[in-house]
Amino acid sequence: MSGHSKWKQIKHKKAITDAKRAQVWTKAIREITVAARVAGGDPDGNPRLRTAIEAARAVNMPKDNIDRAIKKGTGELEGAKYEEVVYEGYGPGGAAIYIEASTDNTNRTVAEIRHAFSRNGGSLAAQNAVAWMFDRCGQIYLDAGSYDEEATLDAVLEAGAEDFQADGDAYVVTTASAKFHEVLEKLKDQGLSVTEAELAMVPQNTVEVSGKDAEQLLRLLDAVEALEDVSKVFSNFDMDTSTIAEVAT
């Protein structure tokens, strides 16, 4: 199981007890705004925007909020001008961390991220220090409780995906980044309901982290992801499931 899947697993478990809807909506709105600014406000011709809208609907964002975010991106409404930035670093136990952010003030963002790292045993690194350890891939999540594993695997292979894994209560489908939207649509055409889908940075190899390092690493990742400017956080760690269960509760 990739480190990215481990962090996803933890976040899903924590969401049961401490979901922060306002924060989730803020991040979703920023992604919609940026996607519309980069490639236009028509989701049919803008796959990134289409994915962002689907993600917003998955967290029950009202249609009016989505429409306003699109119009801010296209310039039809006034709004902040967000810049996409990437930060890289290392966490406790030597885990590589890759951070994607959207911000209207890069000085504020880097200061907040640096503070989170310094308080939790991590260190920021230069650009491309850890990016080479990850591959950009599409990842699609399905509810494992709703579908037979063998039948789902057949559907995934037919859709042209590269990998299929059972990860707890989810099936994780991995695709080449260029085929992400094609595979996603084919799965939907086969009647499969997607719980989440994104372009992710998937680690080529994982680093085992345990004990106090594992606990501190999870605190670091949680602190970074809680920052309003941070869109996504990826890491190449692996750890014992008992540590995940303890931290997630």
Over its C-alpha atoms, the chain yields an Rg (Å, rounded) of 18
Instruction: Indicate the pTM of the whole model.
Output: 0.86
Average pLDDT for residues 186-214, to the nearest whole number? 92
Could you read off the pLDDT of 105-144 as tens digits, one per residue? 999 999 999 999 999 999 999 999 999 999 999 999 999 9
> What are the residues whose beta carbons fall under 8 Å from the beta carbon of 179, sequence distance 6 or more?
138, 160, 161
Instruction: Express each pLDDT in 21-40 by its tens digit.
Output: 678 888 899 999 999 999 99
Q: Does residue 17 carry a pLDDT above 50?
A: no
CATH topology match: 3-74 vs 83-132+206-248: no
CB 156 within 8 A of CB 184: no
Q: For position 1, what pLDDT does the model report?
A: 42
**Tokens coding 45:** 């011709």
Looking at domain 133-203, its CATH class is alpha beta
Tokens of 31: 């992604």
d(CA 203, CA 177): 14
Fold annotation for 83-132+206-248: Alpha-Beta Plaits (3.30.70)
User: Does an H or E element contain 100, and which?
Assistant: strand 96-103
* Domain ranges within the chain, ordered by starting residue: 3-74, 83-132+206-248, 133-203
Is domain 3-74 classified as CATH 3.90.1150.10? Answer: no
DSSP 62: -
pLDDT (mean) for 96-106? 95
